[in-house]
Amino acid sequence: MPQIPWSVLDQTLTWCPNLLALRISTDYISDTFFEPQNIPMGHPLRILDLDCSESAGADVGILPDSIWVAIDNGCLPNLRSVRISARLAWLATHSLRTSVSDLVNLLEEQEKTTPLGVKPGVWSIIP
């Protein structure tokens, strides 16, 4: 699918308002994917897998803070599990590691407040 432009799937959650789990390549979404105009308020998504191709360009990448904000502002209140491709390098810098830790804390807090039975956390998956 290399002919599909980057960020073309940013509205996936609007198009699919009842998804509980989603695996999507960051080659085709941007941080805008997590902005309120692209997520119906209270979307039921629980599990998000962010993949990344080996041929992804430098502009490809989602930041953990974008997901944190989407949860905090009520767009993704049911999100509990985030699995990411190691290629996204969320553990590469101290700042990113701190953002991941903040996201994990928020996911755990959400599960304590509203239990859904999904183990909360962020996992880096080695392709």
- Where would I find the H helices in 22-93? 64-72
Torsion of CA 65, 71, 75, 79, to 10 degrees: 110
Distance between CA atoms of 73 and 97, rounded to whole angstroms?
22
* pTM for this entry: 0.91
Distance between CA atoms of 95 and 86, rounded to whole angstroms?
16
Identify the helix (H) or strand (E) that includes residue 96: helix 94-113
pLDDT tens readout for residues 70-100: 999 999 999 999 999 988 889 889 999 999 9
